[in-house]
Chains A and B, each alone.
Chain A
């Protein structure tokens, strides 16, 4: 077996010095260069578990996977976990030192761990996701050589660990109390994960010095924090990977924005050619790009408000270049062009691209949505789709029969059924009732909504019904106008969004965490503002993410947005970039008015109905393109709405035999 060089020890030591995790973790990561791996463990500490070839998948590309060694270390009564990537792996030639360092897990004490979710499968690798009590999660750790069971069993020997009653694959660590306290603590995100000097927004509203410098200098590049600048860098003797990554990205952006500025200036000079729709957007609220930098920055500060740290991306200019103008929706005639004579989609990528930029006309949705959702295959023929429709109809009826056959007498002894039905009854009568399709007393469509949801709660009994599902189903039934077809489209959608409704809220937490990383990448002053104001849990975006902005836009606009999201054209997680785009639109208001968490929540809730979809989509597209792989790296594999890795979604909600506990 190969014995790779395991430790970048100097890095560990520096990192430990920058943390304030107490003496125990300091000792664990103390520099011991030159000694063998085992002797790098401090006195009194013992490696109780060691597994090689535990790997993370920062992106979908196999070449970018990072393998390392996972260890459990016992010191006194404390248990720590480390995962150190191998150095100089041939397969990871492209892996930079920075990436390696970024993902390293350095002596995390189990007192900081909230839960471990295990994913085991008959095919493919087992992996785990470790969630900290702060709500942060490490990337999925894939056990290429197996060993998840032993890993958990070892932990069990040293730490109180309990299997979640709600999900047999979730193991709760230190769960002495109750879910309340765990979540309460998630409000206090640790400083260690993003420990880098902040562009502070002090109450006096002063620019931090590097921003001031940028203003005086007038150069875009100077707005960007550089490693050479001297803000608390003394503490970080080597480098802080998170910071360096951001810097690199921002530098990339600064080139982009320079390009954007040149391009848009050119557009202004060529008065008539408005290929990017630049002029109307420019003239609305922002100064023309030809005006010197200082002036355009001042224009962003509303009178009476304190100055706000400027957007490192010069976002408004950037979107002009990278976000393409929206197109009219795909109509039935154009739709035909995408089909061969038997109804197969000739070029599904082209179709997705077309829909990404324009959506679908209502009359064509019924044919397109089942494809976008994955209920029908792109290479299926008309005949195959018709056949599937009929077989699926009988399958639906069978599942529906399961609850329809429950008699009143039986229901009296079936609490779970009564409760589920009660919840669904309560929710369907308050779902989109102002829409004519669902309007009025004894509306038949409301009853169908109820029947589908109840049937789904039997089809996926473990997940059941959860508030928000009726919001997701409503437009689908409205479009499909058929109970069985709507059901199967909903099933396909829930294959992706089901984790949003998991009892442990892991699906939501992982998305909100990814969102926080994206904001950190794409607007670090805003990130710092959220950090200083205890807003890093991003719960003010909870509704946006849970039901895909259903409550934020009017009905037809929501459907347009969903079509765009469902193409997965640029990213499966475009919805997170939409969140970033909205937040960036209002960043100056949020920071200028010093919104605290409560005010911010109220503010985002009240944005409902006031967001311009087309421009936000364009912004989101620009952000997604510019963030590129670094953006993708903020989003761990398996984050909803990605399909579960290896596509074994059948196992997602199943409760397995108790193996460990």
Chain B
């Protein structure tokens, strides 16, 4: 195993108010779900260490406020992002429609202006558990069409509440971020030897249930 380098991968999670951004992150990192998360003010992030192939990576997942009014602030945190996760609520049409806006704004300010299409995005359709799917208003087909129109963005249907597909989705995020990651590699530091012991996650553990093409 190559232990000599570790990568810090910065991931930004964007989407409308209350689509479940914080819940998805907490489900992924802490395997917990709470009905009582508070709205995110400003920004925050969580980190998770994982191993992809022979590579140890630290995923730094940034949570931002969902109201457009704070978009200009959020952008301050986008610097150096390796991947952008867009989230909508499959039960709320509006949260799907505003994806265009989130996508566009992020591309404008964070992606390489020479090749904006190259920046790795991924889409999560969250809350598929609600009412057993009967209150759903955005079909999977529609979502996949949108993804296709944006340069074949990988798509995952998730439930942060049930923990469904969350792990797989974020693993895809990590792989995509790692692929494009060049600048954040850090020299391996001694103390991380201990830190990474016991992490057994590997790619083979979770094979592609969603649409990750990595």
B193 to chain A, nearest CB (A): 18
Q: List 10 A-B contacts (CB under 8 A).
A: A180-B108, A180-B110, A430-B38, A434-B36, A471-B41, A504-B72, A543-B41, A547-B41, A551-B38, A551-B41
- With contacts A180-B108, A605-B44 taken as known, whether A501 is within 8 angstroms of B69 at the C-beta atoms is yes
Question: Contact mask A42-74 → B, CB, 8 Å, 1/0?
Answer: 000000000000000000000000000000000
Using a CB–CB cutoff of 8 Å, the interface residues on chain A facing chain B are 177-184, 186-187, 419, 422-423, 426-427, 430-431, 433-434, 466-468, 470-471, 501, 503-505, 508, 537, 539, 542-543, 546-547, 551, 598, 601-602, 605
B187 to chain A, nearest CB (A): 15
Judged by a CB distance under 8 angstroms, whether B112 is at the interface is no
| Cβ-defined contact, B72 with A182, below 8 A | yes
Q: Report the separation of the CA atoms of residues A539 and B39 in the bound assembly, to the nearest whole angstrom.
A: 17
- 12 further A-B pairs in the complex, CB-CB below 8 A; given A467-B65, A470-B39: A187-B79, A423-B17, A423-B18, A426-B17, A427-B39, A467-B66, A467-B70, A501-B69, A505-B72, A546-B41, A547-B41, A602-B45
| Cβ-defined contact, B108 with A183, below 8 A | no
Q: Report the separation of the CA atoms of residues A539 and B41 in the bound assembly, to the nearest whole angstrom.
A: 11
Q: Report the separation of the CA atoms of residues A434 and B92 in the bound assembly, to the nearest whole angstrom.
A: 27
- With contacts A537-B76, A551-B38 taken as known, whether A598 is within 8 angstroms of B65 at the C-beta atoms is no
Nearest-CB residue, chain B, relative to A504: B72
A193 to chain B, nearest CB (A): 19
Restricting to B36-71, which residues have a CB under 8 Å from any CB of A? 36-39, 41-45, 60, 65-67, 69-71
| Cβ-defined contact, A546 with B42, below 8 A | yes
Closest 3 CB pairs of A and B: A180-B109, A426-B18, A542-B42
Q: Report the separation of the CA atoms of residues A422 and B91 in the bound assembly, to the nearest whole angstrom.
A: 13
Q: Report the separation of the CA atoms of residues A598 and B81 in the bound assembly, to the nearest whole angstrom.
A: 13
Q: Report the separation of the CA atoms of residues A468 and B69 in the bound assembly, to the nearest whole angstrom.
A: 12
- With contacts A181-B108, A183-B72 taken as known, whether A598 is within 8 angstroms of B45 at the C-beta atoms is yes
Q: Report the separation of the CA atoms of residues A187 and B65 in the bound assembly, to the nearest whole angstrom.
A: 18
| Cβ-defined contact, A184 with B79, below 8 A | yes
| Cβ-defined contact, A178 with B36, below 8 A | no
Question: Contact mask B66-87 → A, CB, 8 Å, 1/0?
Answer: 1101111101111100000000
Most chain B C-beta atoms within 10 Å of own C-beta, residue among A431, A470, A539 = A539
Chain A residues in 8 Å Cβ range of B108: 177-178, 180-181
- With contacts A426-B17, A430-B36, A602-B44 taken as known, whether A539 is within 8 angstroms of B73 at the C-beta atoms is yes
Judged by a CB distance under 8 angstroms, whether B105 is at the interface is yes
Judged by a CB distance under 8 angstroms, whether B94 is at the interface is yes
Total B residues in contact with A, Cβ cutoff 8 Å: 32
Most chain A C-beta atoms within 10 Å of own C-beta, residue among B41, B45, B77, B110 = B41
Chain B residues in 8 Å Cβ range of A426: 17-18, 39
Nearest-CB residue, chain A, relative to B70: A467
| Cβ-defined contact, A505 with B41, below 8 A | no
| Cβ-defined contact, B94 with A601, below 8 A | no
Using a CB–CB cutoff of 8 Å, the interface residues on chain B facing chain A are 17-18, 35-39, 41-45, 60, 65-67, 69-73, 75-79, 92, 94, 105, 108-110
A173 to chain B, nearest CB (A): 16
- With contacts A422-B94, A467-B66 taken as known, whether A183 is within 8 angstroms of B41 at the C-beta atoms is no
| Cβ-defined contact, A178 with B109, below 8 A | yes
| Cβ-defined contact, B17 with A427, below 8 A | yes
Q: Report the separation of the CA atoms of residues A508 and B75 in the bound assembly, to the nearest whole angstrom.
A: 15
Chain B residues in 8 Å Cβ range of A601: 43-45
B29 to chain A, nearest CB (A): 13
Chain A residues in 8 Å Cβ range of B35: 430, 433
- With contacts A178-B105, A180-B109, A427-B17 taken as known, whether A467 is within 8 angstroms of B73 at the C-beta atoms is no
State which of B37, B73, B109 has its C-beta within 8 Å of the C-beta of A430.
B37
| Chain A-chain B contacts (Cβ-Cβ < 8 Å), number | 101
Q: Report the separation of the CA atoms of residues A537 and B41 in the bound assembly, to the nearest whole angstrom.
A: 16
Q: Report the separation of the CA atoms of residues A419 and B18 in the bound assembly, to the nearest whole angstrom.
A: 12
Chain A residues in 8 Å Cβ range of B109: 178, 180-181, 184
Chain B residues in 8 Å Cβ range of A539: 42-43, 73, 76-77
Q: Report the separation of the CA atoms of residues A546 and B70 in the bound assembly, to the nearest whole angstrom.
A: 11
A296 to chain B, nearest CB (A): 31
B214 to chain A, nearest CB (A): 26
Nearest-CB residue, chain B, relative to A424: B17
Chain A residues in 8 Å Cβ range of B70: 467, 505
| Cβ-defined contact, A180 with B41, below 8 A | no
B112 to chain A, nearest CB (A): 14
Chain A residues in 8 Å Cβ range of B79: 184, 187
A507 to chain B, nearest CB (A): 12
| Cβ-defined contact, B41 with A467, below 8 A | yes
Q: Report the separation of the CA atoms of residues A184 and B72 in the bound assembly, to the nearest whole angstrom.
A: 8
Nearest-CB residue, chain A, relative to B95: A422
Chain B residues in 8 Å Cβ range of A504: 72
A459 to chain B, nearest CB (A): 18
- With contacts A427-B17, A601-B43 taken as known, whether A183 is within 8 angstroms of B69 at the C-beta atoms is no
- With contacts A178-B108, A180-B75 taken as known, whether A430 is within 8 angstroms of B69 at the C-beta atoms is no
Nearest-CB residue, chain B, relative to A537: B76
| Cβ-defined contact, A467 with B75, below 8 A | no
- With contacts A180-B105, A423-B17, A467-B66 taken as known, whether A187 is within 8 angstroms of B76 at the C-beta atoms is yes
Nearest-CB residue, chain B, relative to A605: B44
Chain B residues in 8 Å Cβ range of A546: 41-42
Chain A residues in 8 Å Cβ range of B17: 422-423, 426-427, 467
Nearest-CB residue, chain A, relative to B43: A601
| Cβ-defined contact, B94 with A431, below 8 A | no
| Cβ-defined contact, B71 with A466, below 8 A | no
- With contacts A467-B17, A598-B45, A601-B43 taken as known, whether A179 is within 8 angstroms of B71 at the C-beta atoms is yes
| Cβ-defined contact, B39 with A543, below 8 A | no
| Cβ-defined contact, A179 with B72, below 8 A | yes
Nearest-CB residue, chain B, relative to A464: B69
| Cβ-defined contact, B41 with A431, below 8 A | no
Chain A residues in 8 Å Cβ range of B94: 419, 422
Nearest-CB residue, chain B, relative to A426: B18
Chain A residues in 8 Å Cβ range of B105: 178, 180
Chain B residues in 8 Å Cβ range of A187: 76, 79
Chain A residues in 8 Å Cβ range of B76: 183-184, 186-187, 537, 539
- With contacts A177-B108, A503-B69 taken as known, whether A433 is within 8 angstroms of B36 at the C-beta atoms is yes
| Cβ-defined contact, A180 with B71, below 8 A | yes
B200 to chain A, nearest CB (A): 26
Chain A residues in 8 Å Cβ range of B67: 423, 466-467
Most chain A C-beta atoms within 10 Å of own C-beta, residue among B60, B76, B94 = B76
Q: Report the separation of the CA atoms of residues A551 and B38 in the bound assembly, to the nearest whole angstrom.
A: 9
Chain B residues in 8 Å Cβ range of A430: 18, 35-39
| Cβ-defined contact, B38 with A183, below 8 A | no
Chain B residues in 8 Å Cβ range of A501: 69
Q: Report the separation of the CA atoms of residues A430 and B23 in the bound assembly, to the nearest whole angstrom.
A: 12
Nearest-CB residue, chain B, relative to A415: B94
Chain A residues in 8 Å Cβ range of B43: 539, 542, 601
Nearest-CB residue, chain B, relative to A427: B39
Most chain B C-beta atoms within 10 Å of own C-beta, residue among A419, A467, A542 = A467
Chain B residues in 8 Å Cβ range of A468: 39, 41
Chain A residues in 8 Å Cβ range of B110: 180
A435 to chain B, nearest CB (A): 11
State which of A470, A542, A551 has its C-beta within 8 Å of the C-beta of B73.
A542
Q: Report the separation of the CA atoms of residues A433 and B38 in the bound assembly, to the nearest whole angstrom.
A: 9
B20 to chain A, nearest CB (A): 11
Chain B residues in 8 Å Cβ range of A543: 41-42
Q: Report the separation of the CA atoms of residues A543 and B39 in the bound assembly, to the nearest whole angstrom.
A: 11
B161 to chain A, nearest CB (A): 14
Q: Report the separation of the CA atoms of residues A373 and B44 in the bound assembly, to the nearest whole angstrom.
A: 31
Q: Report the separation of the CA atoms of residues A247 and B76 in the bound assembly, to the nearest whole angstrom.
A: 33
Q: Report the separation of the CA atoms of residues A505 and B65 in the bound assembly, to the nearest whole angstrom.
A: 14
